[in-house]
Structure 1
């Protein structure tokens, strides 16, 4: 791959990751203005905020499989086209129903873009450039999470709420123009894996939809409020049905070999635990900055930019640390640093300043940078024909972790806050007590992620291949069965 083509692919991956993540949070600050101008009810407003997350989370696994079936370039082009057009439709919406529908379609487009872009990094880029690409992609996601409230506040305050969505259009077009730099799909012989597993697709999409909806509603209204218990129960039942259907399918959506891969399954669990902590700190620290310290929405968003900068600057050293210490050691240390950063942030009090928060936030950014090799290593031994599905699994884990982080930290925060208020504590102090307790729980989750990472990525046995050969795409020493007992392992170019 030439230098110009490589730079185009890197730019496309970063822009795609930034745009699709930004839409998770950029609308939140603009919601009061949207409610006033479109005459929406509180329920309508909740659907505007959550419809994107619901469709995004529910369709990620399908998006990953379509990237394998259609080819990564086609999936990216289709996803970016859907995302860009639906962003324009959201900006032009004249009613709540139109806006909610456009947001849901945006999420569907993003569910195609994210797994396909990760699969491009894992399967199409030179091994020496994969860590750089993942670092850029992770930094883009962190920057989007950090700047979402600030961007939304600036656009709403100095312009119009429609610019929250119109902003996506030129960048979406730019990403589309860069898609041809992705290598074309390789020609393969027909196989039973070359068709879509419709029962598995339906069951997995419904399970993810109900799980995401139940978590969002549970975090907002409580887990005993209807229909949260029903949604979570149905999600569990559909997950069991999905597992049974996949075990009997001729062309399963997720092959059993994927789930048995220790690095992939361990990486997905570690992604969830890391996401719980990081998403929790983003969401509730923004509330703390505004509610307790009196920051404006724009100022609260800008407070996170040094975190994104630390992540970006530390990422080039992640692969060096993995080579020197072993990937399982360096990534586990990175997660431990994130946990330490969360604990530092939890020490900020009522009179904290901008500078008081930065040591903890910078540690979170630098620690997260050390975990960036995880995505490539999690899919290193997955055949090229399944990289989209594997990326979809990792993306679904990360998306669910974002909801879980807000729900878990929020539940701990609310419980401690209610107890403190009942004891006569000042509201600001009561919120702070709950916020600190929530961050400590988040830190514990991330620390558990460090333990999972240590064991999931630790090389076992003297015949285990070195990481460099894995990253270069060498064939696994143990055959990987993706389509049945007679299927040969697929080698990667």
Structure 2
């Protein structure tokens, strides 16, 4: 079946949306030292600058998908683009760290309407199974491209026009995407959308917000609130006909194992990326662009390894790529403990390449493990929970890393 021009344009719009939303996870890391100096903020302020985005993504991802299924995917997608653009503009105008953190949360509200909704648009735009598989493959590869582009583009912008420019770059992309969405993307809805679960949504927000807040702000009693909220969430969701968190999924050992691995893996990813950008600029005294280019091996490894990981999962199952990912993670982290101000740059880049192998190898087996035993009508929900687990992991990783390095030479 021949792919039409309209289908190509729709795919390009969805790819652009995933690039800007995911790039804002990595692009801001390169700007953290500049934000730290310009806004005279503490380490906790830098942590919240990252975590305000990832936390809101984690909490609202399930809601965004079900809302789009109910009221229309194009409508929600356009609203998400506009909110993301307004949040980006507010970030660029932030006079202080509190404003910046709040604007990052607004950005993330828009971002939650882009990722799962864009995937649904791609699926409905390509009815032919073969062409749909190709389109999903292209769409999925954009996450690696976003992680690769983020540090480099962020470094170039910070060096040339300051940290505020990393948010300006989103605005023209958003404007073009909104216009093209109106012109080319058809409106679609699900035959039957899941019901909104406001109490479950609030309890999830309270659980994750309190947990991350307790770590960043070093307030132990917030852990009690997080535990009470989590207990209440589980008790409440058990009684719901269509819960926010489908607890029946957790009866599957494979699904539960995939979620735990995703959480742990992305704790490591979030902590590593947060510490690495500070190391490159504050310990090695590299300018932002050089720091961004130093992270290129991570993005390149993701782009090269992720497709191979998918084929490996199809041929050998998820165990082999998970072992490779875990080995690469352990080796890169252990080697990173030996890094100092005078470590030869090729050694640093080699370590980052190994870490990139871990990131590129981890996602395909996780998704496969999570959805392989699920009925068709539950596969999308299972995948969205794994995605939420990844965002929670990044948030916790940044929180833990910032707490550890607050009194070290990484922050000055």
CA distance in 1, matches of 2:258, 2:38: 39
**Is structure 2 residue 137 aligned with structure 1 residue 132?**
yes
Contact persistence 2:92–2:168 (CA under 8 A)? yes
CA distance in 1, matches of 2:7, 2:324: 30
Which of 147, 151, 165 lines up with 1:142 in the alignment? 147
CA distance in 2, matches of 1:210, 1:2: 51
Quote the offset at 1:168 in angstroms: 0.8
CA distance in 1, matches of 2:74, 2:375: 18
Q: Where in structure 2 are the equivalents of 1:434-445 lying within 5 Å?
A: none
Contact persistence 2:216–2:402 (CA under 8 A)? no
2:396 maps to 404
CA distance in 2, matches of 1:357, 1:71: 47
Which of 242, 246, 256 lines up with 2:247 in the alignment? 256
CA deviations 1:321-343 (Å, max 9, x no partner) are 22332233233323322332333
1:363 maps to 354
Q: Select the structure that is richer in helix.
A: 2
Quote the offset at 1:352 in angstroms: 1.2
CA distance in 2, matches of 1:261, 1:304: 37
Contact persistence 1:60–1:115 (CA under 8 A)? yes
Describe the shift of the 1:14–1:365 C-alpha distance in structure 2 as closer, same or farther (beyond 3 A). Answer: farther
- Where relative contact order (Cα < 8 A, 6+ residues apart) is larger, the structure is 2
Q: Where in structure 2 are the equivalents of 1:259-338 lying within 5 Å?
A: 259-338=250-329
CA deviations 1:251-288 (Å, max 9, x no partner) are 32222333334444332222112212222222212222
1:165 maps to 167
CA distance in 2, matches of 1:409, 1:286: 12
Q: Where in structure 2 are the equivalents of 1:106-255 lying within 5 Å?
A: 106-117=107-118, 126=129, 128-129=133-134, 132-133=137-138, 135-143=140-148, 147=151, 151-176=153-178, 179=181, 185=188, 188=191, 194-217=194-217, 223=218, 228-255=219-246
Tell me which moved more, 352-361 or 206-215.
206-215
Q: Where in structure 2 are the equivalents of 1:473-484 lying within 5 Å?
A: none
**RMSD (Å) for aligned C-alpha atoms:** 3.7
What TM-score, normalized by structure 1, do the two folds share? 0.69
Contact persistence 1:12–1:178 (CA under 8 A)? yes
CA distance in 1, matches of 2:367, 2:186: 18
Which of 329, 334, 351 lines up with 1:343 in the alignment? 334
1:23 maps to 24
Contact persistence 2:269–2:397 (CA under 8 A)? yes
Describe the shift of the 1:143–1:6 C-alpha distance in structure 2 as closer, same or farther (beyond 3 A). Answer: farther
Q: In structure 2, the residue corresponding to 1:247 is in which secondary structure? A: helix
CA distance in 2, matches of 1:7, 1:297: 35
Contact persistence 1:21–1:144 (CA under 8 A)? no
Uncovered stretches (5+) of structure 2, i.e. residues with no partner: none
1:422 maps to none
Describe the shift of the 1:268–1:142 C-alpha distance in structure 2 as closer, same or farther (beyond 3 A). Answer: farther
Describe the shift of the 1:89–1:275 C-alpha distance in structure 2 as closer, same or farther (beyond 3 A). Answer: same
- Give the greater-gyration-radius structure (CA): 1
Describe the shift of the 1:14–1:352 C-alpha distance in structure 2 as closer, same or farther (beyond 3 A). Answer: farther
What TM-score, normalized by structure 2, do the two folds share? 0.81
1:448 maps to none
Quote the offset at 1:250 in angstroms: 2.9
Tell me which moved more, 231-240 or 361-370.
361-370
CA distance in 2, matches of 1:68, 1:259: 24
Contact persistence 2:70–2:189 (CA under 8 A)? no
Uncovered stretches (5+) of structure 1, i.e. residues with no partner: 218-222, 418-426, 432-493
Aligned residues: 401
